[in-house]
Amino acid sequence: MSGVNYSEKIPNNVNLVGDRTLQRALEHWQPHFIEWWKGMGPSDFQSADVYLRTATSVDAQGWATYGTVKMPDYRWGIFLADQQADRTIGFGDQMGQPVWQQVPGEYRSTLRRLIVTQGDTEPASVEQQRLLGHTCPSLYDLRNLFQINVEEGRHLWAMVYLLHAYFGRDGREEAEELLARHSGDADKPRILTTFNEPISDWLSLFCFTYFTDRDGKYQLKSLAESAFDPLSRTCRFMLTEEAHHMFVGETGLGRVVKRTLEVMKEIGSDDPARVRAAGAVDLPTLQKYLSFWCSSSLDLFGSEISSNSAANFANGLKGRPDESQYEDHVLREKTLALVTPEGEQTVPMLNALNEVMRESYLKDCEIGLKRWNRQIERAGFSTRLTLPSSRFRRTIGAWAGQPVDPQGKMLSKEEYEKQLYSWIPSEADRAFVHSLMQKVVEPGKMAAWIAPPDRGINNLAVGYEYVKLH
């Protein structure tokens, strides 16, 4: 187990003090990060006392402590999961050889790109969520938002450490760029589209943490398999923190469903207009939000057929999530049948890995829907929430720009355009959801559109004052 030295400027378990040059470079980047946090992080809550967890070790049995801090004083640090002795490459053409402790020259630019792309999403999500504090449904939720925000900040640190430690001058430049691009910025947007979508209401936040953070989980899991050992160790520890983000999404959406069902029972109707008039999110609107964020997140896995992902796998840079669950780790012999708008194609499995990941991601997404549908069924209503087809509303890959409905059926362009806003939120739907977003900050109180959580954080009461506003 590696403890963390908190007497240092940058908490870490990578013996930063033993590498003065790297330490100085990161200490130089640190004030730029704080400046970014204050300018682009949560707006207006920088002096609030927030009950947050902070990583203090990478021990699975007790890796974090909880306490009250002001966010700008959060101890962002660098934590890598412990090195596994004699770890070998688990997939690709170099399977069985020792993992790399340094970046091989021939993979330098590809690895840098993978790290920068992952790194870019972390501060992007903080920027997307920066105004949400003003409309929090409770102090419990406000605290969870800030917990996610500081941890995404730490994930940025995780990637910046790799860039500084292993990629020299290029890496340092990329680290600066990670603070220079901004979500939704017309001139310097974030790299991936989903991370430029505004998140201006809490229903979107819960969808984002359910669908988009789950994409993050899959990306981190596949990078945790990497032959570049420092990247693998970094991602393994990030996954520990990531679990909470998806918990916020899953329980958040579950609480919305619960409250909506209470209202539906009270009024004895599932009529969307009446549910709305009673101050809850009607299920058809919830379905639209699910379809919007799920389809947007599906693009993050990339094209169905990809020579880049084939090369990344063959070279040992990026595996499949939980690579050890598969039998064949080389994939030179396997093929996959893919349906594209041109018909069925048989492609080498190596080239279809994005699709393999997307399919297992969708299975993971189903779990929450099953639970919510059971809640709806038990309440005696016939609506069922569903995930859209992976062909719906795609902007990347074989199905990009195709007029396909959420069931995966091809339509005419006119029909598609006519119906689009019966599948994803219209302006009017968004305006309605926004109208529900009233700030509730009395300890223990909840906004009317969401049920309270089953339990509080770290065994505290739901009514605990998780954020002390001044």
Q: How far is the CB of 192 from Fe ion (least distance, A)?
A: 13
With binding defined as CB under 5 A, does residue 288 bind Fe ion?
no
Residue from 112, 190, 245, 320 in contact with Fe ion (CB under 5 A) = 245
Q: How far is the CB of 121 from Fe ion (least distance, A)?
A: 7
Comparing CB distances to Fe ion, the nearer of 100 and 202 is 202
Alpha-helical runs (H) found in 108-228: 108-128, 139-166, 168-180, 202-207, 213-224
User: What is the DSSP annotation of 353-369?
Assistant: HHHHHHHHHHHHHHHHH
Q: How far is the CB of 21 from Fe ion (least distance, A)?
A: 27
For the range 329-337, what are the long-range contacts, defined as Cβ-Cβ under 8 Å and sequence gap of 24 or more?
329/90, 329/91, 329/92, 329/95, 330/91, 330/92, 330/93, 330/95, 332/93
Comparing CB distances to Fe ion, the nearer of 236 and 245 is 245
With binding defined as CB under 5 A, does residue 215 bind Fe ion?
no
Q: How far is the CB of 395 from Fe ion (least distance, A)?
A: 22
Comparing CB distances to Fe ion, the nearer of 182 and 214 is 214
Comparing CB distances to Fe ion, the nearer of 220 and 286 is 220
With binding defined as CB under 5 A, does residue 217 bind Fe ion?
no
Other C-beta atoms closer than 10 Å to the C-beta of 425 total 21
Whether 408 and 389 have beta carbons less than 8 Å apart is answered as yes
Residue from 213, 229, 270, 299 in contact with Fe ion (CB under 5 A) = 213
Residue from 155, 244, 394, 430 in contact with Fe ion (CB under 5 A) = 155
With binding defined as CB under 5 A, does residue 244 bind Fe ion?
no
Q: Which of 114, 362, 95 is nearest to 219 (CA)?
A: 114
Amino acid occupying residue 6: Y
Specify the DSSP class assigned to residue 225: T
Specify the DSSP class assigned to residue 15: -
User: Per CB under 5 A, which region of 25-33, 96-104, 144-152, 296-304 contacts Fe ion?
Assistant: 144-152
Whether 210 and 255 have beta carbons less than 8 Å apart is answered as no
Q: How far is the CB of 40 from Fe ion (least distance, A)?
A: 16
With binding defined as CB under 5 A, does residue 465 bind Fe ion?
no
Comparing CB distances to Fe ion, the nearer of 155 and 393 is 155
* Residue for token pair 């893919």: 338
Comparing CB distances to Fe ion, the nearer of 199 and 275 is 199
Comparing CB distances to Fe ion, the nearer of 210 and 289 is 210
Comparing CB distances to Fe ion, the nearer of 81 and 263 is 81
Q: How far is the CB of 23 from Fe ion (least distance, A)?
A: 24
Q: How far is the CB of 229 from Fe ion (least distance, A)?
A: 20
Q: How far is the CB of 243 from Fe ion (least distance, A)?
A: 9
With binding defined as CB under 5 A, does residue 182 bind Fe ion?
no
Comparing CB distances to Fe ion, the nearer of 112 and 245 is 245
d(CA 385, CA 309): 32
CA torsion sign for 226, 360, 350, 296 is negative
With binding defined as CB under 5 A, does residue 120 bind Fe ion?
no
Residue partners of 48: CB distance under 8 A and separation at least 6: 70, 71, 467, 468, 469, 470
User: Per CB under 5 A, which region of 244-252, 270-278, 384-392, 419-427 contacts Fe ion?
Assistant: 244-252
What token pair was written down for 226?
Answer: 């990497």
User: Per CB under 5 A, which region of 47-55, 188-196, 240-248, 272-280 contacts Fe ion?
Assistant: 240-248
CA torsion sign for 354, 117, 163, 126 is negative
Q: How many residues bind Fe ion (CB under 5 A)?
A: 6
Q: How far is the CB of 71 from Fe ion (least distance, A)?
A: 16
With binding defined as CB under 5 A, does residue 320 bind Fe ion?
no
Whether 438 and 283 have beta carbons less than 8 Å apart is answered as no
d(CA 74, CA 68): 10
Q: How far is the CB of 153 from Fe ion (least distance, A)?
A: 9
Comparing CB distances to Fe ion, the nearer of 235 and 404 is 235
Whether 453 and 140 have beta carbons less than 8 Å apart is answered as yes
Binding residues for Fe ion, rule: CB under 5 A, are: 122, 152, 155, 213, 242, 245
